[in-house]
Chain A
Amino acid sequence: MSSLTSLDKLLIVTLIIIALAGFIFIGYFSEEADTAIVNVDGKEALRLPLNKNRIFSVEGPLGITDIEIKDGSIRVINSVCDKKICVKTGWIHKSHQHILCVPNHIAIYLSGGGKREKIDGITE
């Protein structure tokens, strides 16, 4: 790495700072989610509370994607798509997380309940 120019180094440092600032910002505003929003083709198709366990399906341009909600988390169980990246994403439960299925045009977002973190404890 000896022959990096000073402009190279400036670029690398700038990119690291931008990315870290992004991560810190996301971490600061992230909270436990209470609602799941399922978008199909860029439009909101479903809005479901995370406190009620259920298994349901949505239909995208390619076909059916099966989704499960359980104990405040959501995941894709099965999908018609090729690489199954949405299935491999697994469970999500924080408001900044998402599950994307690009081939089947499905996006699952979470939205928080307005409370930052759970209460540490209550004294009486």
Chain B
Amino acid sequence: MKTIRIIPRLDIKGPNLVKGIHLEGLRVLGKPSDFAKYYYEQGADELMFMDVVASLYERNSLHDIISETAKKIFIPITVGGGLRSISDIKEVLRVGADKVCLNTAAIKNPQLIRDASRMFGSSTIVVAIEAIKESEGKYLAYTDNGREYTGIDVFEWAQKVDELGAGEIVITSVDREGTGQGFDIDLITKIRSLVSIPVIAHGGAGKSQDIVNLLKQESADAIMVSSLFHYHFIKENESKASTLEGNVEFLKQKRNFHTFEPSSINDSKKLLIENNIKVRF
């Protein structure tokens, strides 16, 4: 049996770690480096940094976060958000990313996937697909954190991404993202049946059991989680939770927590092992 990777996802806005619901309504949670260090120590298998605003003038703070992290954290780091060209990719790899994650630019110009995977190796190029359910069995791909409609069928796009030479796909259920209602197992299982590259499932994990439910059916090669682990970190480290942008009251109320049973990576992995799912421990 294969070993499944558990990948905490850190959404970044400027210097801050943020979290939204359905990829929107972002709240500041704290300093990315505090969360990254904690996840590394807790046995995260990789880290994903996503620049959710990705405006050009803020790019430098993302670069600082990556290079600071890569100096102390010896697990793979994937960076996404706003990467539009070969030179953008080169730049984030140069400051310490191991892989890059493309979405908007790849949909606008699919050739970028082919060019980038030839130049940097397939295994360096991850493509994110943001899926919104249209009707039963029908999903459309969106870009810009679920904001921009493309009209592209998710399943056709996933196959094309594979053919173009990407090394991995992150499939996000925008409908489930940030809600804690569990993964969209149908969506993820179908994507994985259609492609030959590893599939990372994202969006909806509210408790560790949700991860077990997905992986029992061998529906994914890795899972990406944010709220579930972030809320655990905040509970454990209240003093490190943000005081930067006035969301302290929100954090104290833990308003977002009610649909979640926050868990550490360690505890999530224990539950997976109890359910005969292989993880690094």
Do A and B belong to a common assembly?
no
B interface with A by C-beta (< 8 Å): none
A interface with B by C-beta (< 8 Å): none
